[in-house]
């Protein structure tokens, strides 16, 4: 089979697809991991049940985006996959164990023998969610600094780990504002308020560090014409943070108006942050080491995947929207039938 596009384009398209998959994963599994992190902050069992119910129909499909993201890295950029996953071997293994615990805790808690067992699975659910988030943040921190060694780099990774866990807790709280009501919603609003500023600080920190460690990235952001092209990202981020802070300060509004806006605003923050990182690192898939062209698979193979993806991805989006509509509105108790 011959490629139906110029060979240079395919790696670009796949880098774009992979970025979309990873972004979708971070937002989507981010909110359900965040709800897991917040699970131990509520005291009432029925509220925990409601929190779980708010993510129950979604988490499985959300996690599939991780498989797609890593799968695309594996099949489209196999060399980069090897470098990245070898460098991140231990945090990846820890994340996998944590994700496993969380995924099964969801099922086991729903089928627990008694309240004590259910409580024990709650704790596993919380621990699995938190450790997954920390491990992913650690990986982000290591990746951003190009897997640099030394205490400063490790310190940065620790901060990135904590930062991402707080960011997940934030978007999880925003999801609960949308999907719950009453005392639980008030609790979520309080958490979203608390978490917003650390999230903003984290974004600021990563934005400050990346140009400091790489002259190439600094030049891209601060030299002409990059400074104009990229200026909207920080400006929009700042506006969004202050807008969200004002909105959260006044919530809940009468008749639960705008209850979904914090979640979409939080999603906006994730998208802007991700766009900023992508602008910094493009065209590298391993920072400062491997470009997307250097690590891409053969064009024939990429084009046969693309041919399928063009038909299938819109269908996936369609039925995902359908499932979201079926489970729209405030979370009700989950029943199997």
Residues that bind another protein (CB under 8 A): 1, 46, 49, 52-53, 56-58, 60-61, 63-64, 66-68, 70-72, 74-76, 78-79, 81-82, 85-86, 89-90, 92-93, 96-97, 99-101, 103-104, 106-113, 118, 297-298, 300-301, 304-305, 308-309, 312-313, 316, 319-320, 323, 326-327, 333-337
**Cα–Cα dist 62/130, whole Å:** 17
| Six-digit token string for 159 | 């901060």
Q: Count CB atoms within 10 A of the CB of residue 55.
A: 25
Which residue in the block uniquely carries the two structure tokens 């609960």? 176
> H-helix or E-strand containing 290?
strand 290-291
Residue (100 or 201) nearer to another protein, CB: 100
In the bound complex, what is the minimum distance in angstroms from residue 263's beta carbon to another protein? 18
- C-beta of 97 vs 154, nearer to another protein: 97
Q: Which is nearer to another protein, 62 or 210 (CB)?
A: 62
Closer to another protein by CB, 242 or 324: give it.
324
Tell me if residue 291 falls in helix, strand or coil: strand
Minimum distance of another protein from residue 291's CB (angstroms): 18
User: CB 143 → another protein: shortest distance, Å?
Assistant: 15
- Shortest separation between residue 296's beta carbon and another protein, angstroms: 11
Closest listed residue to residue 17, CA positions, set 249, 278, 332, 300: 278
Please give the distance of CA 110 from its chain centroid, rounded to a whole number.
26
Q: How far apart are CA 269 and CA 206, in angstroms?
A: 14
Smallest distance, Å, CB 189 to another protein? Answer: 25
Q: How far is the CB of 168 from another protein (least distance, A)?
A: 18
> CA-CA distance, 65 to 19, in Å (whole number)?
11
Nearer to another protein by Cβ, of 62 and 280: the residue is 62
C-alpha distances out from residue 292 to 14, 83, 148, 211, 288, Å = 9, 13, 20, 21, 11
Instruction: In angstroms, give the least distance from the CB of 111 to another protein.
Output: 5
Q: Between 90 and 257, name the residue whose CB sits nearer to another protein.
A: 90
Distance CA 166, CA 159 (A): 11
CA distance 164 to 94: 16
Q: How far is the CB of 27 from another protein (least distance, A)?
A: 16
322 to 260, 284, 334: CA distances (angstroms): 18, 36, 18
Q: Which is nearer to another protein, 77 or 170 (CB)?
A: 77
Contact 199, 166 (CB under 8 A): yes
Nearer to another protein, 208 or 326 (CB): 326
Residue 291: strand pairing partners: 284
Residue corresponding to tokens 């071997």: 89
């Amino acid at each position: 089979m011959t490629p139906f596009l110029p060979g240079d384009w395919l790696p670009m398209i796949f880098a774009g697809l992979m970025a979309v998959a990873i972004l979708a994963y971070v937002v989507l599994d981010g909110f359900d991991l965040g709800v897991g992190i917040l699970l131990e902050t509520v005291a009432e069992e029925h509220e925990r049940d409601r929190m779980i119910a708010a993510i129950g129909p979604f988490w499985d499909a959300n996690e599939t985006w991780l498989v797609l993201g890593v799968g695309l890295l594996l099949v489209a950029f196999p060399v980069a996959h090897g470098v990245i996953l070898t460098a991140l071997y231990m945090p990846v293994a820890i994340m996998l164990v944590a994700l496993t615990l969380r995924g099964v805790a969801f099922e086991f808690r729903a089928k627990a023998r008694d309240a004590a067992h259910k409580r024990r699975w709650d704790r596993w659910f919380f621990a699995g969610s938190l450790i997954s988030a920390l491990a992913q943040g650690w990986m982000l921190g290591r990746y951003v600094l190009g897997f640099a060694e030394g205490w400063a780099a490790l310190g940065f990774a620790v901060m990135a780990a904590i930062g991402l866990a707080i960011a997940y807790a934030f978007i999880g709280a925003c999801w609960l504002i949308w999907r719950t009501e009453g005392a639980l919603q008030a609790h979520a609003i309080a958490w979203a308020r608390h978490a917003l500023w650390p999230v903003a600080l984290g974004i600021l920190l990563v934005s400050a560090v990346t140009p400091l460690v790489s002259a190439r990235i600094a030049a891209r952001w601060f030299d002409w014409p990059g400074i104009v092209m990229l200026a909207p990202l920080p400006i929009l981020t700042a506006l969004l943070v202050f807008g969200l802070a004002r909105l959260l300060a006044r919530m809940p509004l009468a008749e639960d108006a705008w209850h979904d806006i914090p979640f979409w605003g939080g999603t906006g923050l994730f998208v802007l942050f991700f766009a900023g990182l992508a602008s910094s690192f493009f065209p590298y898939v391993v920072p400062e080491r491997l470009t997307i062209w250097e690590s891409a698979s053969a064009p024939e193979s990429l084009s046969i995947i693309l041919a399928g993806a063009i038909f299938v991805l819109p269908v996936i989006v369609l039925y995902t929207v359908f499932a979201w509509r079926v489970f729209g509105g405030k979370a009700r108790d989950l029943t199997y039938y």
